[in-house]
Structures are given as structure tokens and as C-alpha cells.
Amino acid sequence: MKVCYPGTFDPVTKGHMDIIRRAAETFGEVVVLIMHNPRKKCLFSEQERKAMLERCFEAEGLENVTVEVGSGLTVKYAESLGARGIIRGIRAISDYEYELQQATANMMISDRVETILLIAKPEYSFLSSSVVKEIIINGGDASAMMPDAIVSEVTAKLSGADTI
Ligand code: ADP
């Protein structure tokens, strides 16, 4: 079964990678979706984020996982790819409240795509792209929180930056 995993991935973390690996093992085929959102300010361009994700999949030997940059409504985009599910990760109740609203709205738009919520592993439940960026900007070491394949690129981009 093909599923989509939409998100911002600015940048991808070990928490995202764990969700991707589990989704691929459970459902077979995963399309990671970077949805174009001009209102969201990101550190990395869509193409940079796509290239970093692809490097991580290759490094980790994930074969049935691809990345696309899409625009418009996520659920419609997922439908156009022939995906039957939208994967989202839940770290805390605050994630759940947001995802419940999104999933309910998506039900109004499509009855072919189910939202599937995967619970974060405890070791990643604190982890977000923002946490990674904050740590590096403040001189800390976030290398254990990202896939090895992107550590140098993310660190280089943020070194010297005083804002994200
Ligand atoms: P978005 O802007 O769509 O929330 P993110 O890249 O921040 O994009 O997250 C994409 C998805 O991955 C969301 O469902 C989010 O809850 C989930 N996620 C983010 N970090 C983690 C993590 N550490 N463990 C599990 N799921 C996560």
C-alpha cells in the first residue's frame, strides 16, 4: 500500500526518520511530501530539503521511500499519487489536537485517503526540527538528533546564524 508522509522537514530529524522507517515497514511504499507553503519561513529551500532526505534514504538503505515537492491541498495531492494514507507523527497531546482537526477536515475533502497517526518513540518525543536549529544556533551539539548524512550541511548552514 502506498502512503504519504507530509511535513516541512526543515531539516529532517531522527524522529522523522523513525516514522518513515516504520511506515515503510508497515505499509510498503512511502512518498515523503514536502508541501510548498510560501507562508512558512524555512531555513532550507524545498530542493535542499528534498536532497537531504534523499541522501538519508540512500545512507539508510530505504528502498521504497521517495520524496516529492507538492503544492495545493495535501490530501488532494496524496489522492493524485494514488496513496491510501497520510502518515503523521504524534509526540504529545498538543500534536494530537492539531492532527485531529486536520484529519477531520481531510475527511470532508476525500474519503479515499485515511489519516494514520504513528506515536513517536519515547527517545524522539522531545525532538523537532526547531529544537535541532535552536541547539546549533546557541553553540550546542545536535549531531545525535539528525541522520549522520546531513549533520555537516545543517551545521554549516547554521554556523554564524543568529536567527532562524
Ligand atoms: P509540519 O510543519 O507538517 O508539522 P514537521 O516536519 O515539523 O512538519 O513534521 C512532520 C510530521 O512529523 C508531523 O506529523 C510531526 O508531528 C511529525 N514529527 C516531527 N518530529 C517528530 C518526532 N521526533 N517523532 C515523531 N514524529 C515527529
Q: What predicted TM-score, i.e. pTM, was given to this entire model?
A: 0.96
pLDDT tens-place values along the chain, 164 residues long: 999 999 999 999 999 999 999 999 999 999 999 998 888 899 999 999 999 999 999 999 999 999 999 999 999 999 999 999 999 999 999 999 999 999 999 999 999 999 999 999 999 999 999 999 999 999 999 999 999 999 999 999 987 666 66
Burial of residue 136, with CB atoms counted within 10 A of its CB: 0-12 exposed, 13-18 middle, 19 or more buried: buried
- Among 18, 32, 91, name the best residue to mutate to test ligand 1's pocket (greatest count of ligand atoms within 8 A of Cβ): 91
Quote the pLDDT of residue 40.
85
Distance CA 128, CA 26 (A): 23
Cα(92) to centroid of ligand 1, in Å?
A: 11
pLDDT at position 25: 97
Q: Is 91 a catalytic residue?
A: yes
Cβ 115 under 6 angstroms from ligand 1: no
- The predicted pLDDT at position 14 comes to 98
Any catalytic annotation for residue 133?
no
pLDDT reported for residue 95: 96
Check residue 164 and give its pLDDT: 63
What is the rounded CA–CA span in Å between residue 11 and residue 146?
Answer: 8
Of 154, 143, 152, 160, the residue nearest 49 (C-alpha): 154
Mind listing the domains of the chain with CATH numbers?
2-125 (3.40.50.620)
Catalytic residue check, 50: no
- Distance from the alpha carbon of residue 112 to the mean position of ligand 1, in angstroms: 23
Ligand 1 atom 12: residue of nearest CA? 89
Of the candidates 49, 50, 88, 129, the residue annotated as catalytic is 129
